[in-house]
Amino acid sequence: MRPLIYDDKFNVDAETTQAMACISFPDLKPTFFVKESIFSLAHAIGKPLHLDSVTINKTRPNCARVKVQVDLLVDLPKFVELEIVNEAAETSRIEKVKVQYDMLPKYCK
């Protein structure tokens, strides 16, 4: 299935480089198992579309899956870095979250 982007620059005859991909965040901490947090992580890869039902119901507590619209010509990251700020102690730390691409269509450049 090919996503169609309808705007004033959309050309029906041109092939789009946008595609839908399913991505997972394995070993995701329970703190980040909120829709807004998962969508923020997925936004670093592309435009988040929706979560799968297992992630919504939290029946698989160690992995979150989300469907994302990605540009296949861009190099897709293997990690997403989060800066976690502790305002009380005025400290911050960087945490890496692994990205696993479950279904990624091929595109010839």
Q: Give domain limits for the chain.
A: 18-103
* Rounded Cα–Cα distance for residues 45 and 27 (Å): 18
Per-residue pLDDT, 1 = 45
Q: What was the pLDDT predicted at 10? A: 65
Walk along the chain (109 residues) and give the pLDDT tens digit of each residue: 445 555 666 677 777 788 888 999 998 888 888 899 999 999 999 999 999 888 888 888 889 999 999 988 888 999 999 888 888 888 999 989 999 998 777 765 5
**107, two tokens:** 């595109």
Query: Tokens at residue 108, please?
Result: 């010839």
Q: What is the pLDDT of residue 8?
A: 65
Q: Are 23 and 66 in contact (CB under 8 A)?
A: yes
